[in-house]
Amino acid sequence: MEKPADSFYRQLPKVELHAHLNGSISVATMENLISRKPHLNVQHSMTAIHKGQHRTLGQAFQAFKVIHQLVDTEEDILMVAKAVIGEFAADGVKYLELRSTPREETKTGLTKRMYVETVIEGIRQCKQEGLDIEVRFLVAVDRRNGPQVAMETVKLAEDLMVSSDGVVVGLDLSGDPKVGHGKDFVPALQKAKNCGLKLALHLSEIPSQKEESELLLTLPPDRIGHGTFLHPEVGGSQSLVDKVREKNIPLELCLTSNVKGLSVPSYDKHHFLYWYQLGHPCVLCTDDKGVFSTELSQEYQLAASTFGLSQEAVWTLSQQAISCSFAPGPLKEALSQRWVSLRPQVFR
Ligand SMILES: CC(C)=CCNc1ncnc2c1ncn2[C@@H]1O[C@H](COP(=O)(O)O)[C@@H](O)[C@H]1O
Ligand SMILES: [Zn+2]
């Protein structure tokens, strides 16, 4: 797909709310990481799904294992965080919520706290260097690691919410959806919510999670990642749809991720259309721009070309994402103003 630097979609100011740090590493940064660790013998095909390729969810999750081996020191994490933020800024993203799973690496002496503090340091340095992007952080819970680790992660997130000067705003539940059951995470998620962390939960990313989704919706989450199989047409239920609508919970929708990860058969069958036609808040996101070889501008362009959205409709979509963010009120207000002042440039 052609994407000149001045295209409407790149110029469009955008909000990115669903981006996993280690899934968002560009080819250029990956090259750098691979050259730092040649002994790992990593090929690009192991860390990214290129144009026209598909992988099953299980195969795609293998990519993260490889990437985690490449990113295992403070130096790597700082470099990756700054590069990813810089790339989103270059793509016209004005507000970014990054998420990442705190990871310890005994080999390099990395602790989970150091991990998150290093990402926060990357965010600070980008701000200091004057990058035109506001960044906030969601601490991620990987369901693979079970309820006890989830509880420890929530405690770390609570601490960092207080000490990070507003950078840490929420908690994410992610990881291989086939592993574990959501009910085990309810106490940790409830605790996070009680202490003021916003909840962004991967929900119904695969079929057969109806019961789990019903339960997690009682929390309720502040945003839903994917929600691919919530509606009755794909094996979900009307009751799930009604709950999401009643509580007006925004959906983070990642077209390329779902098509390349084979949870949606083709772009035109993506559940974006279902929810968009209901007038429900939908936010286009990348999920893992590195693994899925995409950019947020490309996701907007894909949605527009697939569903016939006018430039005006695309503008409204990007503007509405501000209200779905976990940014504090004054920042939301400032972002809205920014959209107003940038509009003449975009619609030249
Ligand atoms: C593989 C595939 C089809 C992914 C798309 N959907 C996803 N669903 C659930 N968790 C995810 C997904 N993509 C990334 N993650 C989570 O993000 C992690 C990578 O980023 P990080 O290390 O947390 O910084 C993965 O290990 C996984 O826990
Ligand atoms: Zn995700």
- Please count the other Cβ atoms lying within 10 Å of the Cβ belonging to residue 45: 10
For the entire predicted model, the pTM comes to 0.98
What residue owns the CA closest to ligand 1's atom 26? 64
Task: State residue 93 phi and psi, 5-degree precision.
Answer: -80, 125
Q: Ligand 1: residues within 6 Å at CB?
A: 20-23, 57, 60-61, 64, 100-101, 140, 142, 174-175, 202, 205, 257, 261, 287-288
What residue owns the CA closest to ligand 1's atom 19? 22
pLDDT at 54: 85
Distances (CA, A) of 75 to 36, 71, 115, 176, 289: 11, 9, 10, 27, 21
Catalytic positions, written as ranges: 205
Q: Which among 30, 258, 288 is the best mutation to test ligand 1's pocket, defined by most ligand atoms within 8 Å of the CB?
A: 288
Rounded CA-CA distance 177/96 in Å is: 24
Distances (CA, A) of 58 to 13, 181, 262: 34, 17, 10
Asked if residue 33 belongs to a domain, the reply is: yes
Asked if residue 348 belongs to a domain, the reply is: no
Asked if residue 208 belongs to a domain, the reply is: yes
Asked if residue 1 belongs to a domain, the reply is: no
Number of structural domains in the chain: 1
pLDDT at 186: 98
CA of 4 to the centre of ligand 1 (A): 29
Burial-class residue 151 by CB neighbours within 10 Å (0-12, 13-18, 19+): middle
Q: Give the CATH number of the domain where residue 16 resides.
A: 3.20.20.140
pLDDT at 3: 57
Ordered mean pLDDT values, 10 residues apiece, the chain (348 residues): 73 98 98 96 92 85 96 98 98 99 96 98 98 98 98 98 96 96 97 98 96 98 98 97 98 98 96 98 98 97 98 98 98 98 96
pLDDT at 328: 98
The residue behind tokens 């963010």 is 325
State which residues form the domain around 132: 7-341
Ligand 1: nearest atom to the Cα of 142: 28
CA of 65 to the centre of ligand 1 (A): 10
Asked if residue 29 belongs to a domain, the reply is: yes
Q: Please, are residues 3 and 297 in contact by the beta-carbon 8 Å criterion?
A: yes
Asked if residue 117 belongs to a domain, the reply is: yes
Q: Please, are residues 140 and 151 in contact by the beta-carbon 8 Å criterion?
A: no
Asked if residue 120 belongs to a domain, the reply is: yes
ipTM, 2 dp: 0.99
Asked if residue 96 belongs to a domain, the reply is: yes
Which one, of 21, 42, 23, 45, lies nearest residue 32 by Cα?
42
Consecutive H or E run containing 64: helix 57-70
pLDDT at 4: 62
Ligand 1: nearest atom to the Cα of 59: 1
Three-class SS state of 310:
coil
